[in-house]
């Protein structure tokens, strides 16, 4: 059975004992931009935050793409978010990825060379990368200056969050 | 104290009792594209999935943007994901957002009219929207045809996941 089928099945049990406190109208106070990596999924445990206090935005590498800016602007102006944390992590799959080779292989196998206009956004230094993403968000004209934007790296070997 | 400062403080305790099982090298089997909405953060409870089996990609509305395609291609080819679920939800902030008014207000307050080239991606029907996002992912030349891409809507009032 596929994981998706398993998920639908498990959801039936969840629905039976459904706890409305999990899904009341949200009043989140912080948006966290982090990586899709499954080791970063338990933000409540890692950061001691209440689930309903946090909007979570995740892509490969915790990059401040246009999509992330779009999402942050919605989060601030529609939902009421007051702080932003950009959280990269050690051992990220994008750290050290050879993007030219990766794209060449994709193009070779699929016959399509231009599947993305934005590239894959590989990087070589996670702390520098987080600093750059923080700068991109801070300097965007649609992100209000009153919103603090901070950066951190989560170390997957120790569980430690380091400010950058 | 800001939530970010609270998070750093709470993380010190987390580090002390750090459970390496949470962050061993991941072997996820499924990628879930969903909304940043905090009511969707407990995927493990909602869908009965193991945290380390799931890569989670989140933006406003669970939209299949270029950033999401970028992330899915990495997830499939670098990490080994074998299934994709696009999961929208009821009562989404993008559902029924008046995008023209929203942008006009932003432009008026900030003096910048063209902060984003991709728009905010408001929609009016969550099921149709999920179907369109599924189609965008399925038809992308860099998403292998062997990977199942399915869609669902999570009802935040009942906890139920409906296939679309």
Local structure of residue B103 (DSSP, 8 states): H
Stated length of chain A: 164
What is the structure's pLDDT at A18?
84
Nearest of B85, B114, B95, B104 to residue B37 by alpha carbon: B95
Q: What is the CATH number of domain B25-96+122-163?
A: 3.40.1050.10
Residue B52 has a pLDDT of: 85
Can you tell me the distance from the alpha carbon of B156 to that of A95, in angstroms, rounded to the nearest whole number?
Answer: 36
How much of chain B is helix, strand and coil, in % rounded to 5? 40, 20, 40
Higher pLDDT: B19 or A41? It is A41
State the pLDDT confidence band at A105, using cuts at 50, 70 and 90.
Answer: very high
Inform me whether the pLDDT recorded for A22 exceeds 70: no
Q: How far is A124 from chain B (nearest CA, A)?
A: 16
Q: What is the ipTM, given to two decimal places? A: 0.95
pLDDT tens for residues A43-84? 988 999 888 889 999 999 999 999 999 999 999 999 999 999
Q: What is the pLDDT of residue B25?
A: 67
Residues of chain B with C-beta less than 8 angstroms from the C-beta of A5 = none
Is the pLDDT at A25 greater than 80? The verdict is no
So what's the pLDDT on residue B38?
92
- The predicted pLDDT at position B18 comes to 84
Which of B74, B118, B140 lies at the smallest CB-CB distance from A66? B118
Mutation pick from B24, B27, B66, B67 vs chain A, by most beta carbons of A within 10 Å, is B67
> Rounded to whole angstroms, how far apart are CA atoms A132 and A149?
12
Q: CA of B39: which chain A residue's CA is closest? A: A23
Question: In this complex, do B38 and A56 lie within 8 Å of one another by their Cβ atoms?
Answer: yes
Facing residue for B115 by CB, picked from A18, A23, A141: A141
| pLDDT exceeds cutoff 80 at A95 | yes
End-to-end Cα distance, chain B = 43
Low-confidence ranges of chain B (pLDDT < 50): none
> Which has the minimum average pLDDT: A101-115, A130-144, B5-19, B79-93?
B5-19
Q: Which residue has the tokens 């400062």?
A: B5
- Segments making up each domain of chain B, as ranges: 25-96+122-163
Q: Is the pLDDT of residue A164 over 70?
A: yes
Chain B contacts of A37, Cβ < 8 Å? 26, 55
- Residue A24: per-residue pLDDT: 65
């Amino acid at each position: 059975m596929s994981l998706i089928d398993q998920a639908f099945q498990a959801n039936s049990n969840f629905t039976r004992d459904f706890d409305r406190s999990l899904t009341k109208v949200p009043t989140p106070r912080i948006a966290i931009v982090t990586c899709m990596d499954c080791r970063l999924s338990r933000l409540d445990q890692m950061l001691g935050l209440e689930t309903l206090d946090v909007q979570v935005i995740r892509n490969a590498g915790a990059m401040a793409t246009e999509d992330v800016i779009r999402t942050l602007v919605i989060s601030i102006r529609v939902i009421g978010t007051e702080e932003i944390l950009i959280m990269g992590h050690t051992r990220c799959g994008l750290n050290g990825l050879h993007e030219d080779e990766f794209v060449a292989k994709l193009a070779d196998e699929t016959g399509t060379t231009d599947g993305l206009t934005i590239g894959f956004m590989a990087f070589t230094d996670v702390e520098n990368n987080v600093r750059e993403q923080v700068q991109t968000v801070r300097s965007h004209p649609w992100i209000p200056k009153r919103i603090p934007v901070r950066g951190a790296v989560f170390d997957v070997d120790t569980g430690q969050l380091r400010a950058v």
